[in-house]
Every structure is written in structure tokens, then in C-alpha cells.
Amino acid sequence: MKNAIMLLVLALFATSVHSQSLTQKDLTGTWLVTNVENSSSNLKMATAMKNAIINLYADNSFEIKEKQDDGTYSYKTTTNKNATWSYNPSTQTISTTRSKMTLKVSQSGGKTYFADADSGLKFEVTKPI
């Protein structure tokens, strides 16, 4: 009986760990930054990233566009035009060229986060498109 309970607990733990892993296909697309956590660690970048979009294209090109006052999205201070991205599923990290940004991908409570270790910012993101 004790072994059966341990096996059940192990199976549940393995399932929960596996369900939090994202694939490159899951990450490909447009992500909207809906919230920036730890904004005091880098106020300029936090302001720029509020309501920005992060495009992770299938051809591995990468860009971040900021939302402008008129509601459009364009490059301003967060310029990553012509950059590329790659994904490491074992570490759950997205690496980019040009800006050398590394984003740690995580999920918690049904939400997805991209955390940038260099700036100390954590972006809550949704995939509207």
C-alpha cells in the first residue's frame, strides 16, 4: 500500500512538471506584455515594456515593439529589429541575438511569464494572436 501511494505521488509530480514545459512551437507567435513585475529594478525598461508585444516568429526572427500613445506598435527604445531567437527546452530559456537578452519562461497559476535576469524584470505575457 505504501509503495502504491509513493508511485501515485511520483506520477502526479511527473505530470505536473511535464505540463509546465513549453515547446518552441508553443512559444512561436505574438505575445502581449500585460504586466511588468519588479519594475523598480529597471524603471526605464519596465516603462518601455508595459503593453509591448514580443514577436517570436517561426523563422526564428525576433522583435519587441512598444505600444505608442496613439495605440500603434513600433520600435522606439526597445529595438530588436532583425534579431533572432532560439529556445532551449531543457532550461526553458529563450536567447536572442543583438540585445543578447535571455528570457526564462515559466508558468504559474495559468499565467505565462518571461523573466529577464539581466534587468530583474518579469513580464506576464498572453498570446492574443
Question: Does the predicted model carry a pTM greater than 0.85?
Answer: no
Domain residue ranges in the chain: 23-126
Q: What is the dihedral of CA 76, 83, 29, 89, to 10 degrees?
A: -130
What pLDDT shows up at residue 67? 78
Q: Which of 116, 89, 111 is nearest to 100 (CA)?
A: 116
For 24-65, the pLDDT digits (tens) are: 999 999 999 999 998 888 888 888 888 899 999 999 998 888
Annotation: CATH topology of 23-126: Lipocalin (2.40.128)
What are the angstrom distances between the C-alpha of 13 and each of 9, 30, 90, 104, 110? 6, 31, 17, 21, 17
